[in-house]
Chain A
């Protein structure tokens, strides 16, 4: 029994993008206990959405909940508002929403992978992944007009149309990206020192994943086949464009990396199918109704299941809006999976969870 050290990581630390505080109790640099404090970024968005903003403005506000998955938030809110308004949106709008969600997933996953590489002490791989990631940012800018805050989905449809030449540009860039993706898979899979760092660290078993109710790539790496894209068909037709579930069994950092890389491959296929089969229709369903009643929506964000609940009372302002972000479900699993690992791997494990605390705390 060695002397116990308490190592605080956060609220400002170079391996963290956001304010988040971990307190690791370590023995000979082996973690025996973890305390997490994730509520540094609580801003009070839900309350403001129900008092300050009209229901059509809220879709722009909830986009600012999180910069990485802003399209998931705006789309989920738009869908829940459309349920309250009882309108059906045009098919082209649905397809365009799926297109931007998948592009966003590519950029988010690549960012997470590069962050894992950096926190494992592999700077060159970080640079390489970030360089390959730029194509998705450029495509998102071409489609939506901005690099990170897209505001693409609005209540009733989407804000911008996809020009045919932009569609061709996307296909061209994806074709260029394919060999780069294979290169990345090769490095993440086979680099010896990276696998020393990543294999067998931060393991979450299938039983624990089930018990702690984790979602997203975190759960899929542990062998739980949970993906909202596989379960719901009513709002966005995922199966129609060829969605396919990907799972792994190891549940460690390496498995999470591989899940993310393979999901990028699926996303690329989905995007190709979406652009090839893009239906012609209007972009927006106009309505003068006010939201009424209660509704819930689930959507697969890059980090897992995103849940929206809204309640309207026939006025411009919603009565209640509730956001449950994917990272919120994962916090318990995150804290659990640290135990027994080296402190040196902790930074890589944090990055491999891909925590999004501005979603969690709102």
Chain B
């Protein structure tokens, strides 16, 4: 029995609307409702970036919401997965090229799963989240390996902070 394989059964969701039309947002709400019930997969809508694993973004990124988007993404602890819900979150959609739209979430934060459709159907959203789970597991493994290496590198001060993680990895065995 491998305990680590059960980790992916508990994805907690954070939802942010970066300037969309509400269409995908109400479908995300419909996912919580009895007909689709995503709590079956252990998903909770936390509303708190510090405790979330999956960021669901809807809407083309407007100029005012882009800083909030990046801020929220930065507050989430790794491993984290970003899903862009809907055509306009993925590419900008019909809003592409409008003067206050940046167009596409992936210009600002790395997106792992693109969910198509205008608006996305709840089934598509659930499918997207299930795909994200596999990516989440992969990222968890990668993170564990890399942390092991880097911990050796930042022994000075006995503290692990953001600046140190970005440091160049020194050889473990000298």
User: B44-85: which residues lie under 8 A (CB-CB) from chain A?
Assistant: 45-49, 59-60, 62, 64-65, 68, 72
**Is A316 an interface residue, CB under 8 A from the partner?**
no
**Is A4 an interface residue, CB under 8 A from the partner?**
no
**Is B114 an interface residue, CB under 8 A from the partner?**
no
| Residues A131 and B100 in contact in the complex (CB < 8 Å), given A14-B45, A43-B19, A70-B21 | no
Is the beta-carbon distance between B62 and A41 smaller than 8 angstroms?
yes
Give the A-B contact count at a CB cut-off of 8 A. Answer: 128
Is the beta-carbon distance between A40 and B65 smaller than 8 angstroms?
yes
User: B20-51: which residues lie under 8 A (CB-CB) from chain A?
Assistant: 20-27, 29-30, 32-35, 45-49
Report the Cα distance A11→B71, complex, angstroms.
Answer: 11
Q: What string of 1s and 0s marks CB contacts (under 8 Å) between A24-43 and chain B?
A: 00000000000000011111
Is the beta-carbon distance between B68 and A137 smaller than 8 angstroms?
no
**Is A266 an interface residue, CB under 8 A from the partner?**
no
Chain A min CB distance to B110 (Å): 19
**Is A18 an interface residue, CB under 8 A from the partner?**
yes
For B101, the chain A residues whose CB sits under 8 A away are 43-44
Known contacts A39-B64, A48-B95, A148-B23; 14 further A-B pairs (Cβ under 8 A):
A12-B49, A19-B65, A41-B65, A42-B100, A44-B99, A52-B98, A67-B23, A67-B24, A68-B26, A127-B34, A130-B34, A134-B30, A137-B30, A358-B20
Q: Interface on A for B, CB 8 Å cutoff? A: 11-15, 17-19, 39-45, 47-48, 52, 60-61, 64-68, 70, 111, 115, 127, 130-131, 133-134, 137, 146-149, 356, 358
Chain A min CB distance to B22 (Å): 4
Chain B min CB distance to A294 (Å): 24
**Is B149 an interface residue, CB under 8 A from the partner?**
no
User: B97-137: which residues lie under 8 A (CB-CB) from chain A?
Assistant: 97-101, 118-119, 121
For A41, the chain B residues whose CB sits under 8 A away are 17, 19-20, 59, 62, 65
For A111, the chain B residues whose CB sits under 8 A away are 26, 29
The contact of B26 among A13, A40, A44, A148, by CB within 8 Å, is A148
Q: Which residue of A lies closest to B21 (CB)?
A: A67
A contacts with B: majority SS: loop
Is the beta-carbon distance between A127 and B94 smaller than 8 angstroms?
no
Chain A min CB distance to B95 (Å): 5
For B121, the chain A residues whose CB sits under 8 A away are 147
Is the beta-carbon distance between A12 and B59 smaller than 8 angstroms?
no
For B89, the chain A residues whose CB sits under 8 A away are none
For A47, the chain B residues whose CB sits under 8 A away are 98-99
Report the Cα distance A39→B19, complex, angstroms.
Answer: 10
| Residues A12 and B16 in contact in the complex (CB < 8 Å), given A39-B64, A40-B62 | yes
Is the beta-carbon distance between A130 and B32 smaller than 8 angstroms?
yes
Report the Cα distance A356→B98, complex, angstroms.
Answer: 20
Is the beta-carbon distance between B33 and A131 smaller than 8 angstroms?
yes
For A11, the chain B residues whose CB sits under 8 A away are 65, 68
Chain A min CB distance to B27 (Å): 7
For A40, the chain B residues whose CB sits under 8 A away are 19, 62, 64-65, 68
Is the beta-carbon distance between B17 and A130 smaller than 8 angstroms?
no
Which of B35, B45, B60 has most chain A Cβ within 10 Å? B35
Is the beta-carbon distance between B27 and A148 smaller than 8 angstroms?
yes
Is the beta-carbon distance between B21 and A19 smaller than 8 angstroms?
no
For A42, the chain B residues whose CB sits under 8 A away are 19, 62, 64, 100
Chain A min CB distance to B90 (Å): 14
For B19, the chain A residues whose CB sits under 8 A away are 19, 40-43, 358
Q: List 11 A-B contacts (CB under 8 A).
A: A14-B47, A44-B100, A64-B21, A64-B93, A67-B25, A130-B32, A131-B33, A131-B34, A147-B27, A148-B27, A358-B19
Which of B21, B49, B64, B99 has most chain A Cβ within 10 Å? B21
For A39, the chain B residues whose CB sits under 8 A away are 64
Report the Cα distance A32→B82, complex, angstroms.
Answer: 38
